[in-house]
Amino acid sequence: MEPTSTAELEFVKDGRIAWLIFNRPQVRNAMTWGMYDALERHCQVLNEDPDIDVVVLRGSGGEAFVAGTDIKQFTTFDTAQHALDYEHRIDQVIGVLESLSKPTIALIEGFCVGGGAAIAMACDFRYCTPDLRFGVPIAKTLGNCVSIANLSRLIDLVGAARAKEVLMLAKLFKAEEARLAGLVTEVIAPEGIEVEVRQVAERLSGFAPLTLRASKEEIRRVLAARRPAAGSEEDLIALCYTSRDFKSAVNAFVNKTPHAWRGE
């Protein structure tokens, strides 16, 4: 299922399956603010659409699912409130995706990092190609901080020890390691992954929709009850996003110049 327009987030209805396609392949489908807004809107509409049973999310171009938030957008961040507003906004969007009443599947080709990892972790199932690179390498890229909700999702999937590898060692999971860790459901060759995901979606479409909805929501409530209160990490978000390190790293990325961490 390939995009048929230039929309940055394209919606395609295929029978009773909805496809949401992140469509900025020239930058590995890095997310703009508008793409986050569109993702939230589509999820809200799909949640009430009686003609859709399953939602599949994928990236265009074959190189990446989503390579995080477009870093150029961080150049305007000057205050702690900018950072808090951003993390709260992302939490809201990811929360809407996670609570979607229909089964969701992430079809992952290649890179799935940063905000892309957050989107994929909010899906019910994740199928990837052998070239998967999954992680949140902010310790060596921007020096920022993830929200406690997204951290909780990572710990729920891979455990605290591996979460430390992801965040503190900037580790990118490869496909087979991700499968063994329970991070992805299955690893499939590029030429067969769309067929396989479509078959899984059609299988889900044939099951009792209320049972799927209730099971998904019960699991979501159990996981939500374990998570720390929203906002309990605001001091850490402010610490990282207002640092000289963060500003320097963003500028270095945008301008392709060297950068050295200073811890300030």
Q: What is the pLDDT of residues 43-76, one digit of tens each?
A: 999 999 999 999 999 999 999 999 999 999 999 9
Strand 186-187 relative to strand 125-128, pairing:
parallel
∠ Cα 229 136 100 (to 5°)? 55
**Among 226, 216, 128, residue whose Cα is nearest residue 180:** 128
Residue spans of the domains in the chain: they are 9-205
- Average pLDDT estimate for 80-102: 96
Q: What is the CATH number of domain 9-205?
A: 3.90.226.10
- Average pLDDT estimate for 236-258: 95
Strand 111-113 relative to strand 133-135, pairing:
parallel
Return the sign of the alpha-carbon dihedral for residues 163, 172, 264, 32: negative
Q: Is the pLDDT assigned to residue 5 strictly greater than 90? A: no
Distance of CA 38 to the CA centre of its chain: 14
CA distance 54 to 19: 9
Which pTM does this prediction carry? Answer: 0.96
Phi, psi at 41, each rounded to 5°:
-60, -45
Helix H or strand E encompassing 57: strand 54-59
